Structure 1
Amino acid sequence: MPSREHVEAFLKEVVEGCHVKAIADFYHDDATMQENLGVPRRGKETLMAHEQAALDRIEKMHTHPVQTFLVDGDNVAIRWTFDRVDKAGTVRRLEEVALQRWHGDRIAEERFVYGTASAWRLVGPDGKVVEG
């Protein structure tokens, strides 16, 4: 069961932009990640490679500071907001909830839940979503 402080350390690493390092530092070797109801990816090395490949396709990923997260025993829920800047400079935003099951001080399972119709909405120069 993770302490609230340990989860906060994980959040800090992701918000600082260290997405791949956070997987290395906080996930079990055989951890899984799943997008909505998709097929889970398995294994820390696979998760790190997938994350790095996603980051390599874009210019920048900005992770907003986390305002809401809950820790209940081995279960953690996090409300994330990400802004993805593509190579042309277009900014799109994703808001999602990550549902995690921790085993000790490492994440064993993670499922991302978000509305596919509202995922990666266009963000204007003022930082506000400009569509849907």
Structure 2
Amino acid sequence: MPSRERLNEFIAVVESGDHAGAIERYYTEDASMQENAAPPRVGRDVLVARERGILAQMSHVYSKAMSSVVEGDRVAIHWIFELTDKSGGKRRVDEVAVQEWRGDRIFRERFFYDPSRPKT
């Protein structure tokens, strides 16, 4: 079960822009991530590689946790992400991440957001 301090550390790493580093340090080796109803991606190495690939396409990423809740091994975080790709296209993602923790690491995460939001 994560402590509030551990969760706050995780949030701070994401907000600093080190998304791939957050996965490396805070996820279990067998962790999974799932976008809405899509099939989950499994394995920390797979998750890190995908995150690095996405970030490589961006010129700027802003990440802000608006609120978070810890309830035993379950965590919910309301995130706002503002992404600017290298061609200047911008997208704002208003997302809720629901996580299940094993000890002090995330082993399952599912993201809920509106995938139809157009780029601005």
Q: Which category describes the TM-score, using the shorter chain as reference length?
A: over 0.9
* Alpha-carbon shift at residue 30 of structure 1 (Å): 0.3
Larger relative contact order, structure 1 or 2 (CA cutoff 8 Å, min sep 6): 2
* Alpha-carbon shift at residue 42 of structure 1 (Å): 0.5
Does structure 2 retain, via aligned residues, the 8 Å contact 1:98–1:112?
Answer: yes
Does structure 2 retain, via aligned residues, the 8 Å contact 1:94–1:121?
Answer: no
Residue aligning to 1:129? none
List runs of 5+ in structure 1 lacking aligned partners. Answer: 123-132
State the superposition RMSD in angstroms. 1.1
Letter in 2 for 1:31: A
* Alpha-carbon shift at residue 121 of structure 1 (Å): 4.6
* Alpha-carbon shift at residue 58 of structure 1 (Å): 1.7
In the superposition, the TM-score normalised over structure 2's length comes to 0.95
Residue aligning to 1:90? 89
Alignment partners' CA distance in 1, 2:6 and 2:17 = 17
Residue aligning to 1:60? 60
Residue aligning to 1:71? 70
Letter in 2 for 1:103: R
Residue aligning to 2:39? 39
- Correspondence 1:1-132 to 2 at 5 A: 1-64=1-64, 66-118=65-117, 121-122=119-120
SS at match of 2:86: coil
Percent identity between matched residues is 43
Alignment partners' CA distance in 1, 2:50 and 2:116 = 23
In the superposition, the TM-score normalised over structure 1's length comes to 0.87
Does structure 1 retain, via aligned residues, the 8 Å contact 2:2–2:104?
Answer: yes
Structure index of larger Rg: 1
Does structure 2 retain, via aligned residues, the 8 Å contact 1:29–1:43?
Answer: yes
List runs of 5+ in structure 2 lacking aligned partners. Answer: none
Alignment partners' CA distance in 2, 1:90 and 1:54 = 14
